[in-house]
Amino acid sequence: MEAKEKIESPTSYTLKKVERLCSKKVIDKLFAEGESFLAFPIKVVYKVTELPQPVPVQAGFTVSKKIFKRAVKRNRIKRLMREAYRLNKQMLPPLADEQQMAVFFIFIGKELPKFVQVEKAMKKALSKLASSCAEAENKKA
């Protein structure tokens, strides 16, 4: 049997390995040349760029070790952010002309959040990201 790569529909509520930002080169390029904005308590850094995987968006998640010393708390916040992204990623519009985008979500809050707070911030971040992508498309056209 041959393993076929199945392209997920944009309404599927999954977050596969290929949708996670893992490439060191892409991450370095993202932080060097990317644009950012704040949807408190999440800072978003994004860049339309070539990705190593055939997916429209790859996302990464991080929490400051300086603010949250214990790995248990950092991992919990990252898990909450990934879950909020997974449930709401369909808010991002499809990119035009085979473009791909790398996005990094950085938690900058000081207290351990509840899922409701993280989801609200993620929705706000994704809607801002969608509008900034639309603005970039309008400038090109």
Q: What is the pLDDT of residue 4?
A: 47
Supply the pTM of this predicted model. 0.88
Cβ atoms of residues 80 and 113 within 8 Å: yes
Alpha carbons 107 and 105: distance in angstroms, whole number: 7
Domain boundaries of the chain, sorted by first residue:
17-136
CATH number of 17-136: 3.30.230.10
Which parts of the chain register pLDDT below 70?
1-11, 139-141
- In three-state form (DSSP H/G/I as H, E/B as E, the rest C), the secondary structure along 48-90 is ECCCCCCCCEEEEEEECCCCCCCHHHHHHHHHHHHHHHHHHHH
Reported as a single tens digit per residue, the pLDDT across 24-42 is 999 999 999 999 999 999 9
